Amino acid sequence: MATSIKKVIVDPLSENNPITVQILGICSSLAVTTQVDTAFAMSVGLTLVTAFSNLVISAMRNFIPSKIRIIIELAVVSTLVIVTDQILRAYFFELSRQMSVFVGLIITNCIVMGRLEAFALQNPPGISFLDGIGNGLGYSAILMTVGSIREILGKGSWGGIVLMPQSYMDHGLNGLMVLAPGAFLCLGLIIWIQRTLIKKYETD
């Protein structure tokens, strides 16, 4: 395989970013980005799930009958997701309560399945694992950016540390940033700026 390790890790960060270029995983990036700590937990969770499911599926790729591969993939992914969920509940209960169903919904995240189908089934385990890490990091970068913007503008703090002066908060939380439309706007602006920079345009 000609795929270099560097390309596998670096590409998803910008040129082939799962969120801003492939427009995958939008739902979770809207739901958990009201503040930085949930965004961070989600980023770590998704990165690990993607990496390890890539690793497992890639190791089994020669034994999986192609007709039932989706079921096998789902079994692997859901196992990993449940492990993640249980760890969060055991050690970060408050955080897992805030994220509610969205940890469980990692299983429906298109990035996970997408990487399995597009990469892990054709490549050896080592590079597949790195591909999972790379895509997870690309997802994390966007999630953390959106989470930071929304928390700073919406609640005047970053990761719980108060940044904005009291007078900013006198007018109440910035409702637009705290609610889902804020995530849409941030995401849209990030996509706009990024695509202008890497000069990627979709034309029909």
Partner 1 sequence: MKKLLERHIEWLRPFFQPGGKLQWLYPLHEANETFLLTPAEVTHGAPHVRDQIDLKRVMIMVVLALIPATLFGIYNAGYQFNLANVVEGADFWDHVIKGLWLCLPIILVSYAVGGFWEVLFALIRKHPVSEGFLVTGLLFPLTLPPTQPLWQVAMGVTFGTVIGKEIFGGTGFNVLNPALTARAFLYFAYPVSISGDVWVPLVKGGPIAEGFSGATPLGIGAAASVGTESFVDTLSNAGYTLKTLFFGLHPGSIGETSMVAILIGLVILMISGIASWRIILSGLLGLTFASTIFQHFAGGPNLKVLAELPFYYQAMIGSFAFGLVFMATDPVSATATNPGKWVYGFLIGALIVAIRVSNPAYPEATMLVILFMNIMAPLIDHIVLQAHIKRRNRHVHA
| Residue ranges that bind partner 1, judged by CB under 8 A | 168, 171-172, 174-177, 179, 181, 185, 188, 192
Minimum Å gap between C-beta 155 and partner 1 is: 12
Please say which residue, 158 or 168, places its beta carbon nearer to partner 1: 168
DSSP, res 89: H
Name 162's bridge partners.
157
CB of 158 to partner 1, least distance (A): 18
Query: CA–CA distance from 88 to each of 52, 83, 94, 158 (Å)?
Result: 17, 9, 9, 21
Instruction: Give the C-alpha separation, 170 to 156, whole Å.
Output: 11
Judge contact between 174 and 34, C-beta under 8 A.
Answer: no
CB nearer partner 1, residue 70 or residue 176:
176
Q: What is the DSSP letter of 143?
A: H
Nearer to partner 1 among residue 67 and residue 171 (C-beta): 171
Taking the least distance from each CB to partner 1, the nearer of 40 and 168 is: 168
Q: For residues 124 and 188, which CB has a smaller minimum distance to partner 1 in the complex? A: 188
Phi first, then psi, for residue 161 (nearest 5°) are -85, 125
Give the shortest CB-162-to-partner 1 separation in angstroms. Answer: 17
Spatial separation of the C-alpha atoms in residues 116 and 111, rounded to whole Å: 9
Cβ(130)–Cβ(47) below 8 Å: no
DSSP code of residue 20 = T
- The number of helices, as runs of H, and strands, as runs of E, in the chain is 10, 2
Name residues whose C-beta falls within 8 Å of residue 16's C-beta, 6 or more positions apart in sequence.
Answer: 22, 138
Q: How far is the CB of 189 from partner 1 (least distance, A)?
A: 8
Please report how close the Cβ of residue 82 comes to partner 1 at its closest, in angstroms: 38
134 vs 182, which CB is nearer to partner 1?
182
